[in-house]
């Protein structure tokens, strides 16, 4: 699942229902649909019927005898109470959290990474709350090598790999944050987010972060850094390469397809 849908399964499901299977991972997407139907109160037999009808329309050369296993697997997956529908609309960010990060003796780019780390921790806690039905731990940890790779991507950070550079990669940065007392390095790639323990919840929030693909961009946009602006069409944050760059790639492509289709209609009419 892409970052676009990682914590927004309802949006993913709406995409599937509107456009058919979005990826080649048919089994995974059928499991999502099964959870969706279960969430709407359907029993196992009704879910199976819905999935079969969907597959008849969206799988070329659908054969009930061949595809029954993948459908049954999706139904059984949805029956498991642990497999909840995960959807997080937004994550609240407080002024105190932002002020705490801004006060750190590190560059803006590194603050952006800390901000992203904090948001990912919040998402993880909310994920556990939805899945298990209970609040997550009061501890603040981040880690796992997969999460570090994702952190680099979501924070939109690039490193100077020159020989004399102090920070050449994310692990160098974590060590720097550890030296400054911002985090504490643990075992197995886990780190303790020390800065989070000094932040008391005030109930007052500066903004709600709703797009989890552009976490780092949100921090830049809030501070007016690095030419981050909102797409004129959909409002998603993007890096503006020049003054004429007003739409994100997806919206620009959509506009081009519409323009091209219009030109083709005029050509055919003539």
Per-residue pLDDT tens digits for 193-249: 999 998 877 667 899 999 998 899 999 999 999 999 989 888 889 888 888 888 888
- Across the strands, what pairs with 143? 190
Rounded Cα–Cα distance for residues 255 and 233 (Å): 10
CA angle (103 as vertex; 97, 104 as ends), nearest 5? 100
All residue ranges of the chain with pLDDT < 50 are none
Q: What is the pLDDT of residue 198?
A: 84
Nearest to 174 by CA among 155, 201, 161, 193: 193
**DSSP 8-state code for residue 196:** G
End-to-end CA distance of the chain: 45
Alpha-carbon distance of 64 to 203, in angstroms, equals 53
Distance CA 1, CA 16 (A): 13
Helices 170-179 and 108-132, axial angle in degrees (round to 10) = 90
Q: What pairing do the DSSP bridges indicate for beta strands 205-209 and 91-94?
A: antiparallel
pTM of the model: 0.86
Among candidate residues 206, 171, 193, 156, the one with its CA nearest the CA of residue 3 = 156
Backbone angles phi, psi at 86, to 5 degrees: -100, 115
Interior CA angle at 185 toward 179 and 188, to 5°? Answer: 155
List of residues 6+ apart from 177 with CB closer than 8 A: 106, 110, 114, 183, 191
Structure-block tokens of residue 118: 């904090």
Q: How many C-beta neighbours within 10 Å does residue 208 have?
A: 10
- Cβ atoms of 100 and 195 within 8 Å: the answer is yes
Of 235, 227, 229, 231, residue with least CA distance to 210 = 235
Q: Can you point out the beta strands (E) in 128-250?
A: 141-143, 184-185, 190-192, 205-209, 228-230, 237-239
């Amino acid at each position: 699942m892409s970052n676009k849908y990682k914590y927004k399964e309802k949006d993913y499901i709406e995409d599937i229902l509107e456009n058919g299977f979005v990826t080649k991972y048919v089994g995974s997407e059928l499991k999502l649909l099964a959870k969706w139907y279960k969430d709407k109160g359907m029993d196992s037999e009704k879910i199976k019927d819905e999935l079969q009808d969907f597959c008849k329309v969206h799988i070329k050369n659908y054969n009930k005898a061949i595809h029954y296993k993948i459908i049954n697997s999706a139904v059984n997956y949805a029956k498991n109470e642990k497999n909840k529908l995960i959807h997080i609309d937004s994550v609240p960010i407080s002024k105190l959290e932002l002020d705490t990060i801004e006060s750190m003796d590190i560059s803006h780019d590194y603050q952006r990474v800390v901000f992203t780390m904090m948001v990912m921790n919040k998402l993880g806690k909310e994920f556990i709350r939805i899945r298990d039905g209970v609040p997550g731990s009061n501890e603040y940890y981040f880690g796992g090598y997969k999460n570090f790779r994702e952190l680099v991507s979501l924070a939109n950070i690039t490193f100077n790999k020159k020989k004399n550079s102090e920070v050449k990669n994310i692990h160098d940065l974590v060590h720097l944050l550890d030296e400054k007392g911002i985090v504490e390095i643990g075992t197995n790639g886990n780190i303790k987010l020390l800065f989070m323990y000094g932040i008391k919840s005030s109930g007052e929030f500066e903004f709600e972060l709703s797009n989890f693909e552009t976490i780092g961009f949100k921090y830049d946009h809030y501070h007016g850094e690095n030419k981050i602006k909102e797409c004129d069409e959909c409002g998603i944050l993007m890096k503006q390469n020049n003054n004429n760059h007003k739409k994100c790639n997806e919206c620009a492509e959509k506009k081009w397809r519409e323009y091209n289709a219009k030109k083709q209609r005029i050509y055919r009419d003539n």
